[in-house]
Structures are given as structure tokens and as C-alpha cells.
Amino acid sequence: MAQESSINTASRRTRILNNHLVQYPSKPTSCLQSNSCLSYTLPESTESFGFDIKEMRKIVDFHNLEDRDWLFGVIKQGRVFNGKERGGRLFVSPDYNQTMEQQREMTMKRIEYLLERGAFDGWLTKKGVEAELKKLSLLEVIQIFDHSLSVKIGVHFFLWGGAIQFMGTKRHHDKWLRDTETYAMKGCFSMTELGHGSNVRGIETVTTYDSKTGEFVINTPCESAQKYWIGGAANHATHTIVFSQLNINGVNEGVHAFIAQIRDVNGNILPNICIADCGHKIGLNGVDNGRIWFDNLRIPRENLLNLVADVSPDGQYLSAIKDPDQRFAAFLAPLTSGRVTIATSAIYSSKIGLAIAIRYALSRRAFSMTPNGPEVLLLDYPSHQRRLLPLLAKSCSICNESSNALGNASSVNWPCNFCLTAAYCLYAMSFGGNYLKMLYVNRTPESAKTLHVVSSAFKAIFTWHNMRTLQECREACGGQGLKTENRVGHMKGEFDVQSTFEGDNNVLMQQVSKALLSEYVAAKKKNKPFKGLGLEHMNGPVPVIQPNLTSTTLRSSQFQMNAHCLRERDLLNRFAAEISLYQSNGESKERAFILSYQLAEDLGRAFSDRAILQTFIDTESNVSAGPLKNVLGLLRSMYALICLEEDAAFLRYGYLSTDNAAAVRKEVTKLCRELRPHALALVSSLGIPDAFLSPIAFNWIDANSWSSAQQ
């Protein structure tokens, strides 16, 4: 028996070794045989469109649709944009498997490709509203492809080029703008320092004037004064705008901007300049962020950007604005473009994440509710909604459906899905972004304050919303959300920086509250009506919220606006009173403001929510009666009521009774149920071509098949 067992064991081991060593010819077909497995169903085959998605796109994208589509086509056709076929579809996306150095070089190659095809024509040399809107629309398309590419281009055109355009005068325009537009020179923007970011007035770089040679001399006096996070500085930039304290005859005249060359035409760093790399980052590795030190760098007197102030050849400081605070404000006013482009960029990033996550949830199934029953779409699970709604949808709550309904979940469209509600908020922010762009391109000296306040508020709100959206969309896609090729997870790292660059969001919201307080104090002091920043509602009677809110009332735009105005005016009154109380107790105005930070944050959000809602109402009012207007009405009500439901201020300060808060909660559930059938139509209206989404937005089974893996 023992011998027989030994023979059997040896025979079995021989067969195993033989299977390892002998290669049998592969069959020409797939090694996976057909079975009754899951199959992909195109959402369009089961979901209907209840409104014209082309008309909705016109409202959402708002301007330059043909220009956008042209550039989408240019990118899809270019090899440098890394087009790959997955699941029978073409997708374009950067190759994030590349090293940091390779990503940076690919960014420059893509810029050169777009330059050759005229994508940047007129970006700095053409004037007018149409030219500016076209530039903004093309930048939005570029950022849909790759954030690194859009940031690199944005630094060159909007920061370097924008500083010359709006802070310089004719001598600067004639010398630098054309060469900037053609990339004959590559610009960067040296404002941020190791020791100072948001506090621009505190930067430590020092510039003096040598009247004997007619030159400015720039110095980095200490390590904390090194220029930091300067996009383009590490590898490619040949010139930079240097922000520095200007010291004339021993008097510090405050922060000014100077043009300095940092590399020669061959890319060599010039004398008296040291440049180091900021290194690898959690995102945006296609941008070469660098650090710069200046050691007695001499530049011509003419390189001072002198729209606000100048220095004469003999060293006299000249400015028509004598007040240093007003001069500083006028000096930085033209730099609003950065916040505008970041705000709109965040909206398009959210669009990508939502389009991918919602399309995936409309085709991916998991678990069945009955024995041997079909598995349920992710979009139809209450748990999928509960887990993600609080962060995405202004805390949209979900009601519990009956056990009978749960038992038939495969045929029930569950109300109020997380991604849908995020999309509802996204539509509101899209309209807010369009308002912000029009405010920017039609800017005047008189509108400078409004532009500053609105751009600060919207930049903060939109970028915060974008990060929440991307996180929840990543989770909603499960393990597939981790794959870089599916975009959503990777975009979190790419866009995280938006919360802090071009102004820390929390600091920006404090600036909003300060501006509102300034308007309040001025109106009360002069005993004049409020005018500007949308505060005209403060001139009327205090809105009254009915004790028992009906569905009709809750969906009324008048009620929604009244509720938002009530919150804003009350918080502004409370904020002013608290500041005054602190000051009466001996605190300085600055200290009082710091101590009142909670009310300041509440007020900043109240202003933002009310302003966004107003843009939604204005947009809706311009649409003719019909299915499209009906859907917009539902979306507007969803956004407004989510704001009421999320912000504890409505209950904390008694704007809503507990019964009315419950009524809001119930109405949100009704709205979710009514909007659920429009899920696919809403994301299909966002204007993003299929190639700019990801494989899981479409046939994710074919995209992950064995045959696809062999390509």
C-alpha cells in the first residue's frame, strides 16, 4: 500500500510539473467562455431625456460653445494628448505613470502643440468682452483635459501676462505682450514667499533704487523671503514678475511689482539668481514649481510696473494715490483673474467627477432584494444616498421607504441620490460661475469691490464643493475610483491645491465678511440705504417666514430668497453688534474681528448662498415656459432647500421652527423623487465629450476584459 501511494504521489507531481513546463498552443478565442454573467447596459437604453440637453448645455456652458468644441477636437486628434482605446472607446488623459520630469516636459510639448494650432491667438493682444470670454472658455477646455496644463498656461497668460497687461503701461505692453502670446518668452509670477502667502503686504523681498545707474536692485534678505511655489520657475520660465517691498530713500513705499529676467534664451539661470525645485507634490506634477533667491539683481528702472506708482530717474517716488491702503488695493485689483479662473475650473472638475460617477451608478449593480432576483442599480440604493449626501448635496436627507418598496428595489427609482443632489448644487454653481465671468469681463473701476468680494466668496465655495464632490464620487465608484485611468480619485490630488492658492479659502471668506461689515458701517453712519453687493434687500422690511410652510410655499422662489436674505441680514446685524461689543470692551478692530470668526464664517457663507441663488433665479427667468424651465425650477428649489437644511444657522437663530425644518426635509425628499428620472439628462447636458470622461463611465466590463488587458 505504501509503495502504491508513493507511486501515485510521484505520478501526480510529474503531471503537475509537466503542465508547468509544456506550453500548449493558445486557442484563437478568449480564454474566458461565455456564461450568464453580468452584462453592461448603456444607460441611454433605459433612461429617457425629459428636456432638450443641447438647450440645457447652452445655458450651463453659457458662451463660446463652438470654440470649446473646436478645442476638444484638437486635443482628441493630437498624439501628445495620450489617446488610448478602452472598451471600444477613445479616451484622452495624461499618463500619470510618467516621472515628474517627464510630465513637465509633456506639459510643455502640449503647450507647443496648442500654440502651433492657434489656440492662444489674441489671448493678450485682443481686447474686449468677446476676446476675454473666448480665452476663458478655451482655458476651461484645457483644464478638463489636465489641470497641470491649465495651471501652467494660466500662470503664463493670466498671472505673468495679466500683471503686465493690467499693472503695466504702454511701454510694457509694447515690449512684452506679443512675445508672451507667442511664447518667445516664458513667464512666471513670484509673489508667494516661504514666510508669507495670503499676507502679501508682509512679504520680505526688498528692492531699492540706484539713481546713479537708473536701476532697481532686488534682494532676498533672509530665507523666509525666498520666492516659493513659483509655477514655471524650476525648469522653463525665462522671466518673472517679482513682488517686493520698494524702499526709496530709506522709506518703505509698500509692495510693488517688477519684471526680471531669470534665464537666458538657452535656459541657463542668470547671475545673481538662485533657483531650486520645490520637488514632487500630491498633484500638479506637470507644473515645475520652483524657489527663487535674488542677490543684488539689477534691473532697468523701466521694469517697474507703473500703472499705480512710478520712480523718476532721479529717485523720486510718484503716485497719484497718496493713501498706502488705497494704493495697495488699486495695485492688486487687477489680479482678480486668478480667483475667477480657479472658481470656474473647480466647477468643471466637479462636472467630470459627477458625470463619471452618475453614469457608473446607472449601469453598475450590486446585490438583489429578492431570492434569485436581479441585482439593484447603485443609483437605486438608499444606503448609497445616505452615506454621501451630507457632504455633497447641502445635507440632503432621505426618508425611509416601506419594506414593500424595498422588496421591489430593482424596479424602484429611489429618491435623492447623492450624485444627483451634488449635480443639483453643481448647476447652481455653474450659473454662479457664469455670473462671475460676466462680472469680470465687464469690470470697471466702480465694480472692482463687487468683483473682489464675489470672486473671493465663489472661489472658496466652489473649490470646497469640488473637493467634497470628488471625494464622494471616488467612494461612489468603489475600487474603480482608485484607478488613475478613471480620473476621479487622481483629480482629488490635482485639485486639492485650489483651496489655498490665489488666497486661502478661510482668509477669503473673512475678507467677504469684512467687506460686508464695511458696507454696513458706512450705511449706518451716513444714514443712507444699502447699495451694492446685493445688500439692497437690507433696505426693506424684515422677511417673515410663515409658521406652517406648505409645499407650494417651499418651492416659491420668493420664499427661498426671503429665507436666504433673512439669514444674511440677521447675521450681518449680529456680526456688527459683536464687533462693536468687543471694541467697547477695549479690543482693537482687528482683534475684535478675529474673536468674531464664527459669525464671520457664517456670514460669508450666507452671502455666498444668497448670491448663488440669485444667479439661479435670474437664469431661470430668462428661459421660456416648457420642460426645460420646469426642470430648472426643480433644480433651483433643490438647491435653495438644501441650503436651508444644511446650515444650522436657520435653526440656531430661529429663522426656521423645528416644524418648518421638518417640512423642508420632507420637501427635499419629494424633489429628489421628481428629479431622479432626469439623472442621465442632467450629466449629459454638462458639455463634456465622452473621450474626456473615463472607461467606467461607459462599458466598464469591456474596458476591463481579458482582451482589453492584452492590448
Q: Which residues are catalytic?
A: 502
DSSP 562-600: HHHHHHHHHHHHHHHHHHHHHHHTT--HHHHHHHTHHHH
Q: Could you tell me the CA-to-CA distances from 634 to 44, 264, 515, 650 in Å, in that order?
A: 22, 58, 33, 22
450 C-beta neighbours (distance < 10 Å), count: 16
What stretches of 304-415 show up as alpha helix (H) in DSSP? Answer: 324-332, 337-361, 382-392, 403-407
257 C-beta neighbours (distance < 10 Å), count: 26
14 is in an annotated binding site: no
| Residues near 9 by beta carbon (within 8 Å), at least 6 away in sequence | none
Q: Which amino acid type is present at position 369?
A: M
Q: Is 655 helix (H, G, I), strand (E, B) or coil?
A: coil
> Is residue 469 within 8 Å of 350, Cβ to Cβ?
yes
The b/e string for 138-172 (b: 16+ C-beta within 10 A; e otherwise) is bbbbbbbbbbbbbbbbbbbbbbbbbbbbebbeeeb
| Residues near 617 by beta carbon (within 8 Å), at least 6 away in sequence | 557, 561, 636
The Cα 294–Cα 227 span in angstroms is: 9
Q: Which residue has the cell 465694480?
A: 447
Nearest-10 crossing angle of helices 100-116, 147-154 = 70
Strands 239-248 and 187-190: parallel
The Cα 458–Cα 465 span in angstroms is: 10
Q: Is 65 helix (H, G, I), strand (E, B) or coil?
A: helix
Cell numbers at residue 571, please? Answer: 447675521
Q: Could you tell me the CA-to-CA distances from 434 to 151, 351, 441, 632 in Å, in that order?
A: 20, 15, 11, 16
Q: Could you tell me the CA-to-CA distances from 121 to 124, 126, 131, 180, 324 in Å, in that order?
A: 8, 8, 10, 11, 38
User: What is the enclosing helix (H) or strand (E) of 116?
Assistant: helix 100-116
Q: Which residue has the cell 501652467?
A: 152
Q: Calculate the CA dihedral of residues 500, 576, 440, 329 and round it to 10 degrees.
A: -80
125 is in an annotated binding site: no
Q: Could you tell me the CA-to-CA distances from 479 to 226, 377, 591 in Å, in that order?
A: 42, 16, 48
The Cα 189–Cα 186 span in angstroms is: 11
Q: Is 64 helix (H, G, I), strand (E, B) or coil?
A: coil
The Cα 166–Cα 80 span in angstroms is: 33
The Cα 177–Cα 18 span in angstroms is: 73
Strands 215-219 and 206-210: antiparallel
> Is residue 273 within 8 Å of 236, Cβ to Cβ?
no
Q: Is 641 helix (H, G, I), strand (E, B) or coil?
A: helix
> Is residue 625 within 8 Å of 529, Cβ to Cβ?
no
DSSP annotation of 504 reads: -
Please calculate the CA angle 377-665-432 and round it to the nearest 5 degrees.
80
82 C-beta neighbours (distance < 10 Å), count: 17
Q: What are phi and psi of 654, to 5 degrees?
A: 80, 20
- Residues placed in the known binding site for FAD: 192, 231
- Residues placed in the known binding site: 192, 231
